Amino acid sequence: MKVNLRDLTPEELEHFMTDRGEPAYRGRQIFRWLARPEVEDFSQMTDLPRDLRERLSREASLELPETVERKLSTDGTVKLALRLRDGEVIECVLIPERDHYTLCVSTQVGCAMGCRFCLTGRMGFRRNLSPGEIVSQVILARRFMAEAGLEDRPLRNLVFMGMGEPLANYRHLVKALKILTHPKGFHFARKRTTVSTVGLVPQIRALAEEFPVALAISLHAPDNSLREKLIPATRRYPLEEILAACRDYPLRRGARITVEYVLLAGVNDHPWQARRLVEILRGIPSKVNLIPFNPHPELPFRRPSEERIRRFQEIILSEGLVATVRKSKGLDIGAACGQLRSELSLS
């Protein structure tokens, strides 16, 4: 098979070219072209010699997934279903904010974490995405924005909160992060690039050492007993170890770790659980993002009442922590938190 150059970091592209007797700067030229969403073919890389473009077309590819479905929500959220080379389908979500867009990016086909409140978890794990398949979601989202006339607001934020557990695909995730944040390419700011994890402690510590970006922890319970029931795969990593890794995680000045907490009626929304959550987060620069459960017929949970949600938030705020309630965007198209599972992947 041809090498897909979208899988390569700038340094790897330089090696790719020098291995073929070309100067390293040709790799840097190609890298700049790869960040442009309209580029589909080597013939468009007009600062490369024609004979090199022809050679590259024989030896390498710029393959992208196929956009097979676009769904537009009444609130402006867009869900894209992308078919991969092997026929698997993933989803990414373009979310409108006040002055920019955020893209929710997938890192795996399916997920092995088995969260009881998540449709993706019910798919089971299919496979990891390659770096290029991760990066391609950004390219195709930008291409859609250009075609739909949505360029009045930039795509500024990336959140790795789509299908899959990002840190379970650690090596390919980090390569994708290096590609997407490189100043000579996509140039996304690290502070606006967030990786969400259920708490894979060794990988949290590895990310802290190798390539720290903004971090979000999917906590969802203030004690180990309940958390193991809601997220079975986290039994290996008790809350004490996860929170210790959070305390050690390097943060830029003024930054906080986001603590994601899906509120499930009668399960984890009691006032005593809010107080317990405050206790375990002491000493960690954090902000709590409360996510009222998005119901689905296949999932055995209910959304708490608005009063219950408000009371939980008030308890956290009264203790001096930041606590926000996430507005569910894209609910009508199955694009809200915990809903990513393309029906095309089930056919």
Write out the two tokens for 107. Answer: 């890192």
Q: Which of 91, 133, 165, 260 is catalytic?
A: 91
Between CA 90 and CA 70 the distance in angstroms is 12
What lies within 8 Å, CB to CB, of 271 at 6+ separation is 311, 312, 315
Question: Please, which residues bridge with residue 197 across strands?
Answer: 217
Closest CA to 324 of 291, 277, 280, 284: 291
118 is catalytic: no
What is d(CA 217, CA 215) in angstroms, rounded to the nearest whole number? Answer: 7
Cross-strand pairs, 61:
4
Reading the block at residue 282, the tokens are 């002491």
Residue 324 and residue 287 in contact, taking contact as beta carbons nearer than 8 Å: yes
**Structural contact between residues 89 and 162, judged by C-beta atoms closer than 8 angstroms:** no
The residue annotated as part of the active site, out of 92, 118, 246, 337, is 337
Known catalytic residue at 337:
yes
Residues annotated as catalytic (active site), given as ranges = 91, 337
